[in-house]
Amino acid sequence: MANSPSGDSMTERIVRVLETFTADRSMQSAAEIGRRAGLPSSTAHRMVEELVDAGLLERDQDRRVHLGMRLWELALRGSTALRLRQAALPFMEQVQADIREHTQLAVLEQDEALFLERLSHPDAGANITRIAGRLPLHASSSGLVLLAHAPAALRERVLAGPLRALAPETVTNPALLRRLLTDVRRTGVVIAPGSVEAVSTGVAVPIRDAGEVIAALSVVLPRDTAPDAAIAALRAAAAGTEATLRADRR
């Protein structure tokens, strides 16, 4: 149904169009979208027209398009991501108030850590993550929490590499990583100095729902900060979020 001559479904083509939009590229012409999505120009123009008609894209005065509010609404209205994020947000605000550094919520998505929320303190230090951005599982503190509790098959696939270094101190040795993940399961916390950026230490803890780890909560500390207060704040926030999720399900 609705397949193109090249065999990809219309859904896949729509995804390819939407994928061309990023935080740094939120406005594009139909020609640019076509080039970046690898679609013939006439196809790209027709698809943009159709997506604008449906409200998934919106056109501005100079005929460039951006992602539509309607897409945002459809993606969020019934989403489990929003349920998790709403449960976590009040507790993340408490972490941010106490620790005064970036506070983040991530889930496992396609072998990466996908960030659902990030609260930033005006005085906080460096931080590479963005909402709806991703980081490798083996490098980010959130990713290490998710990887430690991931299904064994996924964990082995990630450990089999390639394991890219984001910074000089990213752990990329599979044997060391395996030991680190065992520690994470035992201690219930990740402390990852210099793993994403040399100037900062990621600290992360798991959030469980119905016994399963479903997310990681993290803060990014300046490299020289002792992690104790952050660990305590994150654990309290995780427990609060888990209690809200439990109450939600009743």
Q: Any contact of residue 2 with a copy of itself (CB under 8 A)? A: yes
Identity of the residue, 69 or 232, whose beta carbon is nearer to a copy of itself in the bound complex: 69
- Applying CB under 8 A, which part among 86-94, 137-145, 153-161, 181-189 lies near a copy of itself? 86-94
Closest among 56, 44, 52 to 13, alpha carbons compared: 44
Enter the tokens of residue 130: 């963005």
Least distance between a copy of itself and beta carbon 2 (Å): 4
Site string for a copy of itself, 131-150 (x = CB under 8 A): xxxx----------------
> Of 129-137, 170-178, 200-208, 222-230, which part binds a copy of itself (CB under 8 A)?
129-137
Report which residue type is found at 115.
Answer: F
Per CB under 8 A, the segment of 22-30, 135-143, 170-178, 193-201 that binds a copy of itself is: 22-30
* Residue 77 CB, nearest approach to a copy of itself (Å): 4
Tell me if 110 contacts a copy of itself by CB under 8 A.
yes
User: Could you say which DSSP state residue 31 is in?
Assistant: H
Stretch that binds a copy of itself, among 74-82, 141-149, 154-162, 196-204 (CB under 8 A): 74-82
In this chain, which of 93, 126, 199, 243 binds a copy of itself, going by CB under 8 A?
93
- The interaxial angle of helices 80-99 and 69-77, nearest 10 deg, is 90
Dist. CA 100–CA 180, nearest whole Å: 27
Alpha carbons 159 and 181: distance in angstroms, whole number: 11
**Which of 61, 228 has the CB closer to a copy of itself?**
61
| Residue 51 in the binding site for a copy of itself (CB under 8 A) | yes
Give me 226's structure tokens.
């002792």
Strand ordering across the sheet containing 103-109: 134-136, 112-119, 103-109, 212-222, 200-209, 190-193
Least distance from C-beta 60 to a copy of itself, angstroms?
10
Q: Which is nearer to a copy of itself, 51 or 238 (CB)?
A: 51
Q: Output the six-digit token pair for 101.
A: 């550094």
Among residues 54, 67, 60, which one has the least CA distance to residue 20? 67
Record the tokens describing residue 94, joined without a space: 């408490």
Q: Give the separation between CA 82 and CA 105, rounded to whole angstroms.
A: 12
Q: Give residues with Cβ within 8 angstroms of 187, minimum separation 6.
A: none
d(CA 84, CA 216): 11
Residues in contact with a copy of itself by the rule CB under 8 A: 1-2, 4, 9-12, 14-15, 18-19, 21-23, 25-26, 43, 46-47, 50-51, 53-56, 66-67, 69-83, 86, 89-90, 93, 107, 109-110, 114, 116, 119-120, 122, 131-134
